[in-house]
Amino acid sequence: MTTTYSSGIAEDAAPPKVAENDDTYWRAVGRRLMRDKVTLFCGAILMLMAALILFAPLVAPYGPTDGSIVRRLKPIGTPGHLLGTDELGRDMLSRLLHGGRYSWFVGITPVAIAFLVGGSIGIIAGFAGGKINMAIMRVTDVFYAFPSVLLAVAVSGSLGAGIANAIMSLTIVFIPPIIRVAESVTTGVRNLDYAEAARATGAGARSIVVVHILPNVLGPIFVYATSLVGVSMIVASGLSFLGLGIKPPDPEWGLMLNTLRSAIYSQPMIATLPGICIFMTSVCFNFVSDGLRTAMDVRA
């Protein structure tokens, strides 16, 4: 007999155990991820890229700024220069590997900081409710009144070029949207029955936050933050493309793209290489983020 019966009674009787539920939840997430070939593939590419740029000094055949004018703009496949050389005769492969360190760093750091800062502020706003919530969300609205690229460009344009300034301006751009997501998720979870129940049984605010709200809130905020990494990579390299961000002669993909614009007539393939790197990174991050969202069953 394969007839199954509702387990409704058993579920009702047992007190909710967050840790245990989490365990099975994460196992289910893992299983769904393992089935998602696109996400796995993109994740693997990202890992490979991360490893390559992390060990760039060991992997790269030349230093990122070594070059001679004599050997400038050699085509792809030149002996000794697998991906050719740039407009100043520097090895493209080496520069791409080293440039990735800056691009990834400037792309990911703002999102990470914004996740911590914006996430905390949003959770506080959502949990506090009332006037505090109102105040925080109204300030957030102001930053929402700027198109994101404009805000990044304006702030880092005022601050001037430099890695720190680029990171700071991007962080300012990403904090408000993360606050919004964190606030709405927290408010949602806070109003759920079991948080109400926890409050009714006399659990203090602290324990409600730690035990009930945090585990349910961090997942969606994290997924949202990962979805920003792709954009962040593009805008970060875009800032360097505009001459904000990383200063020459240091390699950075956006900056390389800009300096190679003069080469589009002579070596178009080489000129587009840094862009392909940015594109690949961004696509992979977006696919992985989508996969995570699906696997973790987070509604957008």
**Residues in contact with other proteins by the rule CB under 8 A:** 1-6, 38, 141-143, 145-150, 153-155, 157-160, 230-231, 234, 237-238, 241-244, 254, 257, 261, 264-265, 268, 271-272, 274-276, 278-279, 282-283, 285-287, 290, 300
Judged by CB, which is closer to other proteins: 100, or 254?
254
**Helices (H) and strands (E) in the chain — how many of each?**
13, 0
Q: Is 19 helix (H, G, I), strand (E, B) or coil?
A: helix
Judged by CB, which is closer to other proteins: 149, or 211?
149
Residues in the chain: 300
Judged by CB, which is closer to other proteins: 186, or 240?
240
Instruction: Tell me if 293 sits within 8 A of 227, measured CB to CB.
Output: yes
CA-nearest of 286, 299, 287 to 216 is 299
Kindly state the smallest distance separating residue 80's Cβ from other proteins, in Å.
26
CA-nearest of 238, 232, 231, 268 to 253 is 238
Kindly state the smallest distance separating residue 134's Cβ from other proteins, in Å.
13
Kindly state the smallest distance separating residue 159's Cβ from other proteins, in Å.
6
Judged by CB, which is closer to other proteins: 69, or 145?
145
Distances, alpha carbon 192 to alpha carbons 23, 151, 208, 276, 291, in Å: 20, 36, 12, 45, 26
Kindly state the smallest distance separating residue 154's Cβ from other proteins, in Å.
4
Kindly state the smallest distance separating residue 231's Cβ from other proteins, in Å.
8
Residue keyed to tokens 């300030």:
139
21 token code pair: 């539920």
Q: Is 67 helix (H, G, I), strand (E, B) or coil?
A: strand
Judged by CB, which is closer to other proteins: 119, or 254?
254
